[in-house]
């Protein structure tokens, strides 16, 4: 008798692509028609079971694939979110950098252009490193030849701090050393990153004042209060300078010009920012002096900072000339006139320094001038020839300034302090001669170029005539 075929489940042995059920014959022999029919039927059942398991296997495979896709989508979504966050962070950084270009980010900021802003000084102890100045540096710091380009901002802050200690101002006016540090930091942060009117210019002017105090023995001739006024006015004289001069402010009718009625708008602004800083206890180096003395210092500083407006140059110099022959150090008005001329000398004293120190300042100033003249052209405002990049050269700009502004002013100071001639006036004469030589070279080169162009033009005309005759 022929046995039935057994349908054996192989569930535990299912593998991808294999059939989960097999038909295994248990006996071999001749099948009857009925047995053959049953076997065929069983084969069909097995085939149906196999299809069902393949479908389930396919479903599992699809489900796994979908899970993987969902995970990828989730990861891609996270990436998109991170990209958007990065874009947002980059935008914030760009905005912050743009803000720093016009005004470095300092808690001590104050803007007269925004009534809602308040001065919030740093309340922590300033942390810029206190550099131990070498004896060589201390001696160099007292001389006009000091190279102001070699120092980083923190080092310049330490040098300024040293000046206040060295002159006895910290001791005599009971200035809290921590407040002095905080005030200097706030001063640094309130100078903009202009090509010329920046914190390095502030340091340059103050260092020149410090060297003139030493050179002219001013501590013997003037009071400590006068020395404090001179030094502090030098530090504050260009605070928050926007990089565009008074002429632009007035012609463009900026908010500063409107606020100060076209009268020295920038210098008035520098004074106002300075005393907004002093109004904060954390930055007030005058906190230990009495009210009357503070009023005198405040008025003296305002007078000195306003004197740096070049529009008043002739007026101030003429007034000083009138009292020069009978100058009296006990006369307060005479001393005030002297201090005004001293801060003016320091403000525009770059050419007094060695050529390698002075010349980069000319490039910085011309860059700032050209920025202004380009803006004036775009806004349809008048442009001064000495600021126009299409008209001015370095030698022409400096020769006129040296001959008609710097040299006459230092010659006047020399009458009161003869020592100035060799140390400060002689370098100005040498600088004038050097720029005149450069101008001669420029003029010669221009003349040669002009002749060359004329010669080429003449040859071109002759060739044209010859070609015409040949034709």
The catalytic site residues sit at 197
Buried b (16+ CB within 10 A) or exposed e, 382-403: ebeeebbeeebebbbbbbebbe
In terms of DSSP H, where are the helices of 325-425?
332-347, 355-378, 394-401, 407-416, 420
Q: Which of 283, 268, 47, 77 is nearest to 185 (CA)?
A: 283
Tokens of 353: 């320094």
Q: Which of 273, 269, 282, 356 is nearest to 308 (CA)?
A: 269
CA distance linking residue 240 with residue 267, whole number of Å: 10
* Residue 359 burial (10 A CB sphere; 0-12, 13-18, 19+): middle
How many helices and strands in the chain, by DSSP H and E? 19, 2
Classify residue 282 by its DSSP letter: G
Tokens of 165: 């200690």
Residue pair 222/416 in contact by the 8 Å Cβ criterion: no
Token pair 């001329």: residue: 341
CA distance linking residue 151 with residue 143, whole number of Å: 16
Q: Which of 236, 230, 291 is nearest to 268 (CA)?
A: 236
Token pair 């905080």: residue: 182
């Amino acid at each position: 008798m022929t046995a039935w075929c057994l349908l054996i489940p192989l569930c535990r042995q299912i593998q991808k692509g294999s059939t989960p059920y097999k038909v295994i014959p248990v006996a071999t022999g001749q099948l009857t028609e009925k047995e053959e029919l049953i076997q065929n039927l069983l084969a069909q059942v097995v085939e149906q079971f196999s299809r069902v398991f393949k479908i389930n296997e396919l479903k599992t495979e699809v489900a796994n694939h979908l899970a993987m896709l969902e995970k990828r989508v989730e990861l891609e979504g996270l990436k998109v979110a991170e990209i958007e966050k990065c874009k947002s962070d980059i935008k914030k950084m760009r905005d912050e950098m743009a803000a720093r270009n016009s005004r470095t980010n300092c808690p001590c900021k104050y803007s007269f252009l925004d009534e809602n802003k308040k001065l919030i000084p740093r309340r922590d102890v300033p942390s810029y490193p206190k550099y131990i100045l070498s004896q060589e540096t201390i001696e160099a710091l007292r001389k006009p030849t000091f190279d102001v380009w070699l120092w980083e901002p923190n080092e310049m802050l330490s040098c300024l701090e040293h000046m206040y200690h060295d002159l006895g101002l910290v001791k005599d006016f009971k200035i809290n050393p921590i407040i002095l540090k905080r005030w200097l930091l706030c001063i640094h942060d309130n100078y903009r990153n202009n090509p010329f009117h920046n914190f390095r210019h502030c340091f340059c002017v103050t260092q020149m004042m410090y060297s003139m105090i030493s050179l002219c023995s001013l501590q013997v001739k003037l009071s400590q209060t006068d020395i404090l006024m001179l030094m502090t006015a030098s530090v504050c004289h260009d605070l928050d300078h926007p990089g565009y001069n008074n002429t632009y402010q007035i012609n463009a009718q900026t908010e500063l010009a409107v606020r100060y009625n076209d009268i020295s708008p920038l210098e008035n602004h520098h004074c106002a920012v300075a005393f907004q800083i002093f109004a904060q206890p954390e930055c007030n180096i005058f906190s230990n002096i009495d009210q009357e003395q503070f009023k005198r210092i405040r008025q003296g500083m305002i007078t000195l900072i306003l004197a740096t407006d070049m529009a008043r140059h002739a007026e101030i110099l003429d007034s000083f000339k009138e009292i020069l022959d009978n100058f009296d150090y006990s006369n307060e008005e005479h001393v005030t006139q002297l201090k005004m001329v001293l801060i003016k000398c320091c403000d525009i004293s770059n050419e007094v320094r060695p050529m390698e120190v002075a010349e980069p300042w000319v490039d910085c100033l011309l860059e700032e001038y050209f920025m202004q003249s380009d803006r004036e052209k775009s806004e349809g405002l008048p442009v001064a020839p000495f600021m126009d990049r299409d008209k001015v050269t370095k030698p022409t700009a400096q020769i006129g300034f040296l001959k008609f502004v710097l040299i006459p002013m230092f010659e006047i100071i020399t009458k009161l302090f003869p020592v100035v001639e060799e140390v400060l006036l002689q370098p100005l004469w040498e600088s004038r001669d050097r720029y005149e030589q450069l101008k001669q070279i420029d003029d010669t080169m221009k003349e040669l170029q002009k002749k060359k162009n004329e010669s080429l033009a003449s040859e071109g005309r002759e060739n044209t005539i010859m070609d015409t005759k040949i034709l």
